[in-house]
Chains A and B, each alone.
Chain A
Amino acid sequence: MQNQEEINRLKNLVQDLLDESKKQGASSAEAGLSIDNGLSVNVRLGEVETIEHHCDQSLGITVYIGQKKGSASTNDFSAGSIKETVKAACSIAGFSSADKYAGLPEKDSLATEFSDLDSCHPWNIDAEAAIKIAIECEDAARSYHAEISNSEGASVNSHQGIRVLGNSLGFLQGYESTRHSISCSVLGERNGDMQRDYWYSVSRNADKLEIAKAIGIKAAKRTINRLGARSLTPRQCPVLYSAEVASGSIGSLISAISGGSLYRKSSFLLDALGTQIFPDFIHIHEQPHLKMALGSANYDSEGVATAARDIVQDGILQGYVLSSYSARKLGMKTTANAGGVHNLIVETGDNDFFAMLKQLDTGLLVTELMGQGVNQVTGDYSRGASGFWVEKGEILYPVEEITIAGNLKDMYKNIISIGNDIDYRGNIRTGSILIEQMSIAGE
Chain B
Amino acid sequence: MLNQVKQSILAPYGMQEKDIDTIMDNMLSTRIDEADIYFQSSHFESWVLEDGIVKEGTHSIEKGAGVRVVSGEKTGFAYSDRIELKVLLEAANNVKAIARQGYNAQRKIATTADRAEYYPAINPLKSLADQEKIDLLRKVDIETRKLDHRIEEVIVSSVGVDEQILVANQDGSLVADIRPLTRMNVTVILADKGKREQGSMGGGARTDYGYFLDQNKAIEYGKEAVRQALVNLEAIAAPAGNMTVVLGPGWPGILLHEAIGHGLEGDFNRKGTSAFSGKVGERVASELCTIVDDATLANRRGSLNIDDEGIPAEKTVLIEKGVLKGYMQDKMNARLMGVKSTGNGRRESYAHIPMPRMTNTYMLPGKDDPEEIVKSVKKGLYAKNFGGGQVDITSGKFVFSASEAYLIEDGKITRPVKGATLIGNGPEVLTKVSMVGNDLELDPGVGTCGKEGQSVPVGVGQPTIKIEGLTVGGTSV
A residues with CB within 8 A of B:
44, 47-58, 60, 69-76, 81, 84-85, 88-89, 91-92, 95-99, 102, 127, 150, 152, 187, 193-196, 226, 229, 231, 233-236, 264-266, 270, 370-373, 375-378, 380, 382-384, 386, 400-407, 439-443
Tell me the nearest residue of chain B to A56, going by C-beta: B351
Asked whether A372 lies within 8 Å of B387 as measured between CB atoms, the reply is yes
Q: A150 CA to B400 CA in the complex, in Å?
A: 27
B477 sits at the interface (CB 8 A): yes
Within 8 A of A (CB), among B281-306: none
Asked whether A382 lies within 8 Å of B401 as measured between CB atoms, the reply is yes
Asked whether B59 lies within 8 Å of A88 as measured between CB atoms, the reply is yes
Asked whether B54 lies within 8 Å of A97 as measured between CB atoms, the reply is yes
With A196-B392, A382-B419, A401-B424: A442-B471 Cβ-Cβ less than 8 Å: yes
Asked whether B400 lies within 8 Å of A74 as measured between CB atoms, the reply is no
Q: A55 CA to B87 CA in the complex, in Å?
A: 12
B472 sits at the interface (CB 8 A): yes
Asked whether A400 lies within 8 Å of B59 as measured between CB atoms, the reply is no
Asked whether A51 lies within 8 Å of B75 as measured between CB atoms, the reply is yes
Asked whether B420 lies within 8 Å of A405 as measured between CB atoms, the reply is yes
Asked whether A372 lies within 8 Å of B272 as measured between CB atoms, the reply is no
Asked whether B56 lies within 8 Å of A378 as measured between CB atoms, the reply is no
Can you identify 11 A-B contacts, CB atoms within 8 angstroms?
Answer: A53-B94, A194-B275, A266-B198, A370-B391, A370-B397, A371-B400, A377-B189, A403-B421, A405-B238, A405-B474, A440-B240
Q: Is the interface of A mostly helix, strand, loop or mixed?
A: strand
Q: Which residues on A sit within 8 Å (CB–CB) of B191? A: 265
B63 sits at the interface (CB 8 A): yes
Which residue in A91, A102, A127, A194 is a CB contact (below 8 Å) of B394? Answer: A194
Which residue in B60, B98, B395, B475 is a CB contact (below 8 Å) of A74? Answer: B60
With A72-B58, A378-B196: A371-B472 Cβ-Cβ less than 8 Å: no
Q: A408 CA to B152 CA in the complex, in Å?
A: 23
Q: Which residues on B sit within 8 Å (CB–CB) of A386? A: 395, 397
Which residue in B197, B241, B394 is a CB contact (below 8 Å) of A187? Answer: B394
Q: A372 CA to B390 CA in the complex, in Å?
A: 8
Tell me the nearest residue of chain A to B191, going by C-beta: A265
Further 7 A-B residue pairs, CB within 8 A, beyond A70-B58, A373-B420, A383-B421: A50-B75, A53-B95, A96-B56, A97-B53, A370-B397, A441-B240, A441-B477
Asked whether B74 lies within 8 Å of A50 as measured between CB atoms, the reply is yes
Q: A92 CA to B131 CA in the complex, in Å?
A: 10
Closest 8 CB pairs of A and B: A403-B473, A384-B399, A97-B53, A371-B399, A441-B240, A196-B394, A92-B57, A53-B78
Asked whether A71 lies within 8 Å of B56 as measured between CB atoms, the reply is yes
B173 sits at the interface (CB 8 A): no
Q: A62 CA to B142 CA in the complex, in Å?
A: 28
Q: A266 CA to B188 CA in the complex, in Å?
A: 10
Asked whether B55 lies within 8 Å of A441 as measured between CB atoms, the reply is no
Asked whether A403 lies within 8 Å of B153 as measured between CB atoms, the reply is no
Asked whether B78 lies within 8 Å of A52 as measured between CB atoms, the reply is yes
Interface-central residue, B58, B63, B75, B391, by most chain A CB under 10 Å? B58
Tell me the nearest residue of chain B to A153, going by C-beta: B271
Q: A403 CA to B471 CA in the complex, in Å?
A: 8
Asked whether A370 lies within 8 Å of B238 as measured between CB atoms, the reply is no
B residues with CB within 8 A of A:
50-51, 53-64, 73-81, 91, 94-95, 97-98, 130-131, 134, 152-153, 155, 189, 191, 195-198, 238, 240-242, 271-273, 275, 351, 353, 387-392, 394-395, 397-401, 418-425, 471-477
Asked whether A401 lies within 8 Å of B425 as measured between CB atoms, the reply is yes
Q: A406 CA to B418 CA in the complex, in Å?
A: 11
With A234-B240, A371-B400: A441-B471 Cβ-Cβ less than 8 Å: yes
Asked whether B419 lies within 8 Å of A375 as measured between CB atoms, the reply is yes
Q: A378 CA to B51 CA in the complex, in Å?
A: 21
Which residue in A72, A95, A405 is a CB contact (below 8 Å) of B134? Answer: A95
Q: Which residues on A sit within 8 Å (CB–CB) of B63? A: 75-76
Tell me the nearest residue of chain A to B98, going by C-beta: A51
Asked whether A406 lies within 8 Å of B91 as measured between CB atoms, the reply is no
Write the nearest CB–CB distance from A139 to chain B, whole angstroms.
18
Which residue in A50, A102, A380, A441 is a CB contact (below 8 Å) of B418? Answer: A380
Asked whether B474 lies within 8 Å of A441 as measured between CB atoms, the reply is yes
Asked whether A401 lies within 8 Å of B397 as measured between CB atoms, the reply is yes
Q: A75 CA to B350 CA in the complex, in Å?
A: 12
Which residue in A127, A270, A373, A442 is a CB contact (below 8 Å) of B97? Answer: A127
With A44-B271, A91-B130, A265-B153: A382-B395 Cβ-Cβ less than 8 Å: no
Q: A150 CA to B395 CA in the complex, in Å?
A: 13
With A74-B62, A99-B55: A235-B477 Cβ-Cβ less than 8 Å: yes
Asked whether A264 lies within 8 Å of B420 as measured between CB atoms, the reply is no
Tell me the nearest residue of chain B to A380, going by C-beta: B418
Q: Which residues on A sit within 8 Å (CB–CB) of B472? A: 403, 441
Interface-central residue, A57, A58, A236, A405, by most chain B CB under 10 Å? A405
Which residue in B79, B353, B423, B475 is a CB contact (below 8 Å) of A401? Answer: B423
Write the nearest CB–CB distance from A368 to chain B, whole angstroms.
8
Asked whether A50 lies within 8 Å of B395 as measured between CB atoms, the reply is no
Asked whether A439 lies within 8 Å of B97 as measured between CB atoms, the reply is no
Q: A279 CA to B57 CA in the complex, in Å?
A: 42
Asked whether A48 lies within 8 Å of B74 as measured between CB atoms, the reply is yes
Q: A306 CA to B443 CA in the complex, in Å?
A: 44
With A49-B73, A75-B62: A377-B198 Cβ-Cβ less than 8 Å: yes
Q: Which residues on A sit within 8 Å (CB–CB) of B394? A: 187, 194-196
Write the nearest CB–CB distance from A372 to chain B, whole angstroms.
5
Tell me the nearest residue of chain B to A270, going by C-beta: B196
Tell me the nearest residue of chain B to A267, going by C-beta: B196
Write the nearest CB–CB distance from B273 to chain A, whole angstroms.
6
Which residue in A92, A196, A406, A440 is a CB contact (below 8 Å) of B59? Answer: A92
Asked whether B60 lies within 8 Å of A441 as measured between CB atoms, the reply is no
Q: Which residues on B sit within 8 Å (CB–CB) of A375? A: 198, 418-419
Which residue in B64, B241, B425 is a CB contact (below 8 Å) of A441? Answer: B241
With A73-B58, A265-B152, A441-B472: A49-B401 Cβ-Cβ less than 8 Å: no
Asked whether B273 lies within 8 Å of A71 as measured between CB atoms, the reply is no
Which residue in A235, A372, A443 is a CB contact (below 8 Å) of B471? Answer: A443
Asked whether A402 lies within 8 Å of B471 as measured between CB atoms, the reply is yes
Q: A195 CA to B20 CA in the complex, in Å?
A: 44
Asked whether A75 lies within 8 Å of B81 as measured between CB atoms, the reply is yes
Q: A71 CA to B60 CA in the complex, in Å?
A: 9
Tell me the nearest residue of chain B to A260, going by C-beta: B50
Write the nearest CB–CB distance from B381 to chain A, whole angstroms.
12
Asked whether B59 lies within 8 Å of A72 as measured between CB atoms, the reply is yes
Q: A69 CA to B195 CA in the complex, in Å?
A: 34
Tell me the nearest residue of chain B to A43, going by C-beta: B74
Asked whether B272 lies within 8 Å of A150 as measured between CB atoms, the reply is yes
Asked whether A48 lies within 8 Å of B98 as measured between CB atoms, the reply is yes
Asked whether B81 lies within 8 Å of A76 as measured between CB atoms, the reply is yes
Write the nearest CB–CB distance from A49 to chain B, whole angstroms.
6
Q: A234 CA to B390 CA in the complex, in Å?
A: 22
Q: Which residues on B sit within 8 Å (CB–CB) of A72? A: 58-60
Asked whether A95 lies within 8 Å of B395 as measured between CB atoms, the reply is no
Q: Which residues on B sit within 8 Å (CB–CB) of A75? A: 61-64, 81
Q: Which residues on B sit within 8 Å (CB–CB) of A150? A: 271-273
Q: A400 CA to B395 CA in the complex, in Å?
A: 9
Asked whether B473 lies within 8 Å of A382 as measured between CB atoms, the reply is yes
Q: A229 CA to B195 CA in the complex, in Å?
A: 39
Interface-central residue, B91, B351, B353, B397, by most chain A CB under 10 Å? B397
Asked whether A266 lies within 8 Å of B423 as measured between CB atoms, the reply is no
With A49-B74, A91-B130, A265-B196: A372-B240 Cβ-Cβ less than 8 Å: no
Asked whether B198 lies within 8 Å of A403 as measured between CB atoms, the reply is no
